[in-house]
Structure 1
Amino acid sequence: MNPAQKRILIVGGVAGGATCAARARRLCETCEIVVFERGPHVSFANCGLPYFVGDVIQSETNLLVASPALFAHRFNIEVHTETEVIRIDRQTRTIAVRDLRTDAIRQESYDALVLATGAQPVRPPLPGIDLPGIHVLRTIPDSRKIKAAVAHAQRVVLVGGGFIGLEMAENLVGLGLHVTLLELADQVLPPLDPEMAAYAAERLKAHGVNLRLGEGVESFEKSPEHGLNVRTSKGEALATDLVILGIGVRPESGLAAAAGLELGALGGIRVDEWMRTSDPAIWAVGDVVEVKNRVTGEWQLVPLAGPANRQGRVAATAILHHFACSDGTRSPLKFDGVLGTAACEVFGLTIACTGASEKVLRRAGMDYEKVYLHPGHHASYFPGAKPIHIKLLFSKTDGRILGAQAVGEIDVARRIDVIATAMMQEATVFDLENLELCYAPQFGAAKDPVNLAGMIAANHLRGDLPLADWEELTTTTALLLDVRSEAEFAGDHIPHAQNLPLETLRERLHELPRDREIWLVCGVGQRAYYAYRLLQQKGLRVKVLSGGMQTYRARRRARD
């Protein structure tokens, strides 16, 4: 087969479709490549939209990654914007295309078809959901509408506490609006575990956001005095000038479903490792597909730009390999699943995660262990050290890293990126403790937070650091022993704990029971570890509460 005779049609641009088109051209100069995009822009940075609304990004043109003219002149790729693909005929390998400006419909033939139709915001069928003043944020036109509404508003209700909801909260507060954020779950940021998400919730409240957790929307009503009333699941009516929905997105897979392509249980298009659908001439990439979780092996939806870009490269490579090879061999470039590595910032606080959360591991029935730590982002003796709160999840049997979450003000994403890189290589916590990472006092410490996470986890697996289970704190019969100073203990402590400062332990060993397990706690875990080493060698049965009082407070905030 001669690739020069082949025609590649791509439905949708943005991350996955645009990347696939550009990669296909790099691999084949003579193929005909055509992109159809329903919206006015073929490639734009939708992750920047909240910051465009908030005037952090002041020019709309800064959001445009590539224009149809650039695709034409640089890549010789034909782009049709404001053009909707309305039907796929798999038998004749043609698509029906509607020009949204003229309503004219035409047929286009393909040798390979790529679906990058993305996802659409969730708009639940609530009473009043279609009233004026209720917005979603997914495209540049959406952001224009919100900017226009915000210019005349004082109050806004955000529905949904995911990444978009938090970023919108920060930007709208920055514009001087009174912001209420409703989240039906008992935490913000669903990819995190509750005690880690509690740091973000605390930061939102500190900056004036009216955060209402465990409270959803029942209906919307038009108000004669102001814009809207939002009726909540707790029976309250919230007066607001506008509403922004950030409940999530669902795959825009209707076109694929109508064509008879296989869909997964979550509604996304089912693809193989080469992004091929159940039709051998059709591929799919981006938010419209279901992907395998690299940790649990389960199918999931991951609407992130990074995976979409990689999928576009994989699909383009597979298509050209398919054109060139008639022996059935597969392209060497594959998409092996996702970790879901992500980050966001809210009021100067960075929240990042990779791999599976504890919630996900429980649902998957996987055996795991966890550690908490709260080191400084660089050497403590150098001015300006800020804490990074880290949760590391790993396999009990072999120490394989299963996931990590981190929250802090500086260099948080870098630490999660290191752990994500290690996970892609199926590394263990024993590998983390031995990583050779940059050290200078303004950048890190001789024991980087990533190293420390590995050391704590590895010590536990080697039997050098038995960990108590935070989940059993309220039911345990163990003695809770706080080894901080008397002043620290007086400031705040776990109920029913006893205080025995680390510096007095050797002289007061006779006060500790030998017929009862002892659980140790300190500020962040270090002094409790020192106490464990001492008491264990004296024959006492001892465990450590990982992360100390810092973790206890985070869990208490999540609970309250």
Structure 2
Amino acid sequence: MRIIVIGAVAAGTSAAAKARRNSENAEIVIYEKGEYVSYSGCGMAYHIGGEIKDGATLHPRDDKYFKEVYNVDIKIKHEVSKINPSNQSVEVKNLSTGETFIDNYDKLIIATGARAIKPPIEGVDLEHVFLLRNINNMYAITNYLNKNKVKNAVVVGGGFIGLEVSEALRFKGINVSLVEFKPQVATSIDADIAKIVELELTNNGVDVHKGVAAQSITNKKVQLSNGKELLADIVIIAVGVRPNSEIAQEAGVKLGNYRGILVNEKLETNIPNIYAAGDVSEQYHNVIEDYVYIPLGSTANRQGRAAGDQATGGEITFGGIIGTSIYRIFSLTVAQTGINEEQAKNAGFEPVVLYNIKADRPEYFGGKDMYVKAVADQKSKRLLGAQIVGPNAVDRTVNTFAAVIHLKGTVDDLVDLDLAYAPPYANPRDIVNYTGMMYDNVIRREKKMMRGKEVKKKIVNGEPLIVIDTRSASAFAASHVPGALNIPLSQLREKAASLPKHLPIVFYCNRGLDGYVGQTILENLGFQHVYNIRGGYFGYLLDE
């Protein structure tokens, strides 16, 4: 049996390695149009920023390695230009010699990945303008930085790559302006959580421009659509990626709404003996129950392994995704898994959204606040998604949420999880457990929550509303909800008799806990229209 793999990065090499582990008799050939194979694209920004000193550590394996260890033939600088399913062959061009030839396959695995989008901006092809998608791009950027006196940089795009590159350039002492066409940075998460990320950017010297486009680029400046000009000795374009699916489409392989190849759980396409894996394919989302396009290295590796197994008669399948991702931006870690409130509504759920703000470990052990925004279904209590921002423990927290979501667990499962605790690492009530407890209060005990923007709207419209701030007098004096009364919990029972029972009363504190306690006190005293602001005062400020 002859297996041909197109593409030698994450999915392609994973597929070939798994196929070889299954069969010593198969002939396995990988055609790769580039010169680097099996590299860690996710580490490139960290080499640009100087954290990873030696760029070669991101591509430690070459074609010779795969021949010696796996007996896999990788042909670098060879581009597959055409697939012929009728006779199971591919047309290949040797980019070094210009020679074109035909090769036949029994099984074909398409792992052509994706390419960085180059927007139609005037000046985008100037020598100081770069994309960042592969190792060649990385070295082009570092070489330019080493050879030129770069004081000012413009990064176009506020997604994963744009944020990581902005951080990297700031680490090198370069002034950075970040331009994002959408009204928020960190475009994969909700706008309220993205505000925390934006604050971290500005606190670290990044000049953020939202809701504007880069209109043109000159040798030293970037002109924005709002008329502003930004100084730019270097420009990094990071506005997303597009699947390299053209040759597959020309061969009759079916594509999805995002122009990625559609595959089933066996990574099979609609054409017999042709599989696809990695960034060239769309992924089935297990919560949305539809295909999405979220290209990640972790997904590519899992898909590649399954494709290689299936191509050699194995039974490993790819179980889909739930959109789990994570990245660092200066002192914060940003992570998400599952879906958000809007996606939940579109998928037919009745979403209940909660903010949970809690230290990652006891404050006496240096604990710092972590912000969790969770989404669950009102009817089934199924956990649907979580977005997390904080300086510590975000990785373990998002992975715990992800495991529960993957297993279609409920918010009750969050309460029951037996999680590790010791003061240097965690709180006795872990933020995951605590999120479940909060949901128990809202869903089962029917504790009423009110969004910050709903409170703002009622205040602006002059609707009858009593707002009670349970924080200290000094915190209240520094900043508070307009018209709020400052009644700490220690005084609430004494002053409850003076509060009108016929009007809605809304509590808030810093994080939500004291507000919940105040809500419970009044409910136990016979008040019926009592609410707690979702996420406390911090949630109020974020919610617009």
- Which range, TM-score by smaller chain? over 0.9
Structure 1 residue 294 and structure 2 residue 278: aligned? no
Q: Which amino acid aligns with 2:302?
A: R
Give the CA deviation at 1:235: 1.4
Partner of 1:336: 319
Structure 1 residue 374 and structure 2 residue 357: aligned? yes
Aligned partner of 2:503 among 485, 498, 516: 516
Partner of 2:368: 386
Aligned partner of 2:211 among 194, 210, 214: 214
* Whole-angstrom distance in 2 between the partners of 1:474 and 1:365: 28
Give the CA deviation at 1:365: 5.1
Structure 1 residue 202 and structure 2 residue 199: aligned? yes
* Whole-angstrom distance in 1 between the partners of 2:68 and 2:80: 24
Question: Over residues 235-271 of structure 1, what are the superposed CA-to-partner deviations in whole Å (9 max), with x where a residue is unaligned?
Answer: 1222311210010001111111111111111111111
Deviates more, 1:355-364 or 1:116-125: 355-364
Partner of 1:48: 43
Aligned sequence identity (%): 35
Give the CA deviation at 1:363: 4.5
Which SS does the other structure have where 1:369 is aligned? strand
User: Is the 2:8–2:74 Cα contact (8 Å) retained in structure 1?
Assistant: no
Partner of 1:435: 417
Q: CA RMSD in A?
A: 1.4
Aligned partner of 1:164 among 161, 164, 167: 161
Partner of 1:183: 180
Segments of structure 2 that go 5 or more residues without pairing to the other structure are none
Structure 1 residue 546 and structure 2 residue 526: aligned? no
Aligned partner of 1:413 among 395, 398, 408: 395
* Whole-angstrom distance in 2 between the partners of 1:41 and 1:96: 21
Structure 1 residue 480 and structure 2 residue 467: aligned? yes
Which SS does the other structure have where 2:471 is aligned? coil
Q: Which amino acid aligns with 1:493?
A: H
Structure 1 residue 110 and structure 2 residue 102: aligned? no
Give the CA deviation at 1:485: 2.0
TM-score (norm 1): 0.93
Q: Which amino acid aligns with 2:415?
A: E
Question: Over residues 210-229 of structure 1, what are the superposed CA-to-partner deviations in whole Å (9 max), with x where a residue is unaligned?
Answer: 11111111222x3xxxx233
* Whole-angstrom distance in 2 between the partners of 1:90 and 1:413: 43
TM-score (norm 2): 0.96
User: Is the 2:534–2:540 Cα contact (8 Å) retained in structure 1?
Assistant: no
User: Is the 2:92–2:102 Cα contact (8 Å) retained in structure 1?
Assistant: yes
User: Is the 1:113–1:281 Cα contact (8 Å) retained in structure 2?
Assistant: yes
Which SS does the other structure have where 1:244 is aligned? strand
Partner of 1:258: 250
Structure 1 residue 21 and structure 2 residue 16: aligned? yes
* Whole-angstrom distance in 2 between the partners of 1:16 and 1:515: 62
Partner of 1:401: 383
Q: Structure 1 residues 548 and 428 mapped into 2: Cα distance closer, same or farther (>3 Å)?
A: same
Q: Which amino acid aligns with 1:188?
A: V
User: Is the 1:186–1:214 Cα contact (8 Å) retained in structure 2?
Assistant: yes
Give the CA deviation at 1:362: 4.3
Q: Which amino acid aligns with 1:24?
A: A
Size of the aligned set, in residue pairs, is 536
* Whole-angstrom distance in 2 between the partners of 1:66 and 1:539: 70
Deviates more, 1:432-441 or 1:231-240: 231-240
User: Is the 1:456–1:465 Cα contact (8 Å) retained in structure 2?
Assistant: no
Deviates more, 1:424-433 or 1:120-129: 120-129
Which SS does the other structure have where 2:166 is aligned? helix
* Whole-angstrom distance in 1 between the partners of 2:66 and 2:384: 40
Structure 1 residue 527 and structure 2 residue 509: aligned? no
Give the CA deviation at 1:119: 0.5
Structure 1 residue 139 and structure 2 residue 127: aligned? no
Partner of 1:101: 96
User: Is the 2:337–2:386 Cα contact (8 Å) retained in structure 1?
Assistant: yes
Q: Which amino acid aligns with 1:56?
A: E
* Whole-angstrom distance in 1 between the partners of 2:539 and 2:223: 35
User: Is the 1:182–1:211 Cα contact (8 Å) retained in structure 2?
Assistant: yes
* Whole-angstrom distance in 2 between the partners of 1:111 and 1:299: 28
Q: Which amino acid aligns with 1:270?
A: L
Partner of 1:3: none
Which SS does the other structure have where 2:177 is aligned? strand
Give the CA deviation at 1:334: 2.0
Question: Over residues 16-35 of structure 1, what are the superposed CA-to-partner deviations in whole Å (9 max), with x where a residue is unaligned?
Answer: 11111101111111111111
User: Is the 1:370–1:394 Cα contact (8 Å) retained in structure 2?
Assistant: yes
Partner of 2:144: 149
User: Is the 2:214–2:222 Cα contact (8 Å) retained in structure 1?
Assistant: yes
* Whole-angstrom distance in 2 between the partners of 1:479 and 1:366: 32
Aligned partner of 2:330 among 322, 347, 354: 347
Which SS does the other structure have where 1:185 is aligned? coil
Q: Structure 1 residues 377 and 49 mapped into 2: Cα distance closer, same or farther (>3 Å)?
A: same
Structure 1 residue 89 and structure 2 residue 81: aligned? no
User: Is the 1:45–1:65 Cα contact (8 Å) retained in structure 2?
Assistant: no
Question: Over residues 360-416 of structure 1, what are the superposed CA-to-partner deviations in whole Å (9 max), with x where a residue is unaligned?
Answer: 33454542011111111112332x111101111111111111110111111111100
Q: Which amino acid aligns with 1:501?
A: P
Deviates more, 1:541-550 or 1:356-365: 356-365
* Whole-angstrom distance in 1 between the partners of 2:234 and 2:332: 26
Q: Which amino acid aligns with 1:545?
A: I
User: Is the 2:152–2:234 Cα contact (8 Å) retained in structure 1?
Assistant: yes
Partner of 1:277: 269
Give the CA deviation at 1:440: 0.2
Give the CA deviation at 1:342: 0.8
Q: Which amino acid aligns with 2:378?
A: K
Question: Over residues 420-471 of structure 1, what are the superposed CA-to-partner deviations in whole Å (9 max), with x where a residue is unaligned?
Answer: 0111111111000111000000111111011011110122110252212334
Give the CA deviation at 1:311: 0.7
Which SS does the other structure have where 1:467 is aligned? strand
* Whole-angstrom distance in 2 between the partners of 1:119 and 1:371: 36
Which SS does the other structure have where 2:448 is aligned? coil
* Whole-angstrom distance in 2 between the partners of 1:211 and 1:63: 30
Q: Structure 1 residues 518 and 65 mapped into 2: Cα distance closer, same or farther (>3 Å)?
A: farther
* Whole-angstrom distance in 1 between the partners of 2:433 and 2:362: 14
Deviates more, 1:384-393 or 1:455-464: 455-464
Structure 1 residue 11 and structure 2 residue 6: aligned? yes
Report runs of 4+ in structure 1 exceeding 3 Å deviation.
362-366
* Whole-angstrom distance in 2 between the partners of 1:285 and 1:159: 29
* Whole-angstrom distance in 1 between the partners of 2:388 and 2:216: 36
* Whole-angstrom distance in 1 between the partners of 2:370 and 2:247: 45
Question: Over residues 182-204 of structure 1, what are the superposed CA-to-partner deviations in whole Å (9 max), with x where a residue is unaligned?
Answer: 01111111121111111111111
Q: Which amino acid aligns with 1:378?
A: R
Aligned partner of 2:295 among 293, 299, 303: 303
* Whole-angstrom distance in 2 between the partners of 1:111 and 1:298: 30
Aligned partner of 2:341 among 358, 374, 378: 358
Partner of 1:325: none
Partner of 1:505: 492
Structure 1 residue 243 and structure 2 residue 235: aligned? yes
